Structure 1
Amino acid sequence: MKGPHTGPGNHSARVRRCNERLLLHTLRRIGHVSKADLARLVNLTSTAVDSHIASLAGAGLIEFTGRHVEDRHGQPASRIRLASRGSFGIGVRLDCTRIETVLVDFAGQLLGRRIRDGVLPYPSDVAGVVQDDMHDLLQVLTEEERTRLAGVGVAQPHNPGSSRHERRLPSETSLSYDETDFAEELRRTLSLPVCNENDGTAAAIAELFYGCGRQRDDFLYLFLGAAIGGGIAVGGDCLRGASGHVGDFGVMPVSPGRLASASRPMGQWDVLLSRASLDSLTRHLRASGEPVESRAGLKNCIAQHQPAVDEWLDDCIDALAPALRAMVCLLDVPVIVVDADVDAGLIEKVIRRLRVALAADAPQARGTPRLLRGTFGAHAGAIGAATLPMFFNFSPRADMRTGQTESLDSFF
Structure 2
Amino acid sequence: MYAIGIDIGGTKVAVGIVDAAGQLHSQTIIPTDLERSPREVIEEIIETVEQLIQQSHIPLEQLAGIGIGAPGPLDAKKGCITCPPNLPRWIHVPIVEWFKERFSFPVFLENDANAAALAEKWVGSAKESEHFIYLTISTGIGAGLYLDGKLFTGARGNAGDIGHMVIDPSYGKCTCGQKGCLEWIASGTAIARRGSEIMGTPLSTKEVFQLYQQGEPKIVPFIQEVFNAIGVGCVTLINLFDPEKIVIGGGVSEVGAPLFEAVQSYIHSYALNPDGCKTQVVPASLRQHAGVIGAAAVFFKKKGEK
Specify the TM-score bucket, using the shorter chain as the normaliser.
0.7 to 0.9
Structure number with larger C-alpha Rg = 1
In structure 2, do the counterparts of structure 1 residues 348 and 107 end up closer, same or farther at CA, with 3 Å as the change threshold? farther
- Superposed counterparts of 1:152-191, under 5 Å: 152-159=66-73, 164=85, 174-175=88-89, 177-191=90-104
Q: Distance in 1 between matches of 2:177 and 2:65?
A: 43
Q: Distance in 2 between matches of 1:380 and 1:143?
A: 22
Which residue number corresponds to residue 291 of structure 1? Answer: 202
Q: Which residue of 257, 276, 279 corresponds with 1:348?
A: 257
Amino acid of the residue matched to residue 297 of structure 2? T
Deviation at 1:267, TM superposition (A): 8.1
In structure 2, do the counterparts of structure 1 residues 234 and 194 end up closer, same or farther at CA, with 3 Å as the change threshold? same
Deviation at 1:229, TM superposition (A): 0.5
Are 2:2 and 1:97 equivalent residues in the alignment?
no
Q: Which residue of 212, 235, 242 corresponds with 2:125?
A: 212
Which residue number corresponds to residue 237 of structure 1? Answer: 150
Contact (CA 8 Å) 1:93, 1:99: kept in 2 or not? yes
Q: What secondary structure, in the 3-state scheme, does the structure 2 residue paired with 1:209 have?
A: helix
Amino acid of the residue matched to residue 265 of structure 2? V
In the alignment, structure 2 segments of 5+ residues that lack a partner are: 74-80
Q: Distance in 1 between matches of 2:119 and 2:177?
A: 36
Deviation at 1:342, TM superposition (A): 5.0
Question: 1:269-293: CA deviations, max 9, x gaps?
Answer: 521111121111011221123423x
Q: Distance in 2 between matches of 1:268 and 1:106?
A: 41
Amino acid of the residue matched to residue 257 of structure 2? E
Q: TM-score, normalised by structure 2?
A: 0.85
Are 2:203 and 1:302 equivalent residues in the alignment?
no
- Superposed counterparts of 1:1-400, under 5 Å: 87-120=1-34, 121-144=36-59, 146-159=60-73, 164=85, 174-175=88-89, 177-256=90-169, 262-264=171-173, 269-287=179-197, 288-292=199-203, 297-303=204-210, 305=213, 307=216, 310-342=220-252, 345-363=254-272, 365-368=274-277, 369-394=279-304
Contact (CA 8 Å) 1:213, 1:236: kept in 2 or not? no
Question: 1:190-222: CA deviations, max 9, x gaps?
Answer: 111110011111111111222133212210110
Question: 1:271-320: CA deviations, max 9, x gaps?
Answer: 1111121111011221123423xxxx433442452536533332223222
Q: TM-score, normalised by structure 1?
A: 0.64
Which shows bigger deviation, 244-253 or 308-317? 308-317
Runs of 4+ in 1 over 6 A off after TM superposition: none
Amino acid of the residue matched to residue 138 of structure 1? I
Amino acid of the residue matched to residue 354 of structure 1? V
In structure 2, do the counterparts of structure 1 residues 309 and 93 end up closer, same or farther at CA, with 3 Å as the change threshold? farther
Contact (CA 8 Å) 1:183, 1:195: kept in 2 or not? yes
Q: Distance in 2 between matches of 1:174 and 1:109?
A: 33
In structure 2, do the counterparts of structure 1 residues 253 and 300 end up closer, same or farther at CA, with 3 Å as the change threshold? closer
Deviation at 1:327, TM superposition (A): 1.9
Which residue number corresponds to residue 76 of structure 2? Answer: none
Deviation at 1:264, TM superposition (A): 3.9
Q: Could you say what the CA RMSD is over the residues aligned between the two structures, in angstroms?
A: 2.7
Q: Distance in 1 between matches of 2:221 and 2:304?
A: 45
Q: What secondary structure, in the 3-state scheme, does the structure 2 residue paired with 1:128 have?
A: helix
Q: Distance in 2 between matches of 1:108 and 1:312?
A: 38
Q: Structure 1 vs Structure 2: percent identity of aligned residues?
A: 25
Contact (CA 8 Å) 2:82, 2:92: kept in 1 or not? no
- Tell which has more relative contact order, 1 or 2 (C-alpha 8 A, sep 6+): 2
Contact (CA 8 Å) 2:239, 2:276: kept in 1 or not? no
Q: What secondary structure, in the 3-state scheme, does the structure 1 residue paired with 2:154 have?
A: coil
Q: What secondary structure, in the 3-state scheme, does the structure 1 residue paired with 2:119 have?
A: helix
Q: Distance in 2 between matches of 1:268 and 1:116?
A: 31
Amino acid of the residue matched to residue 277 of structure 1? S
Q: Distance in 2 between matches of 1:223 and 1:187?
A: 29
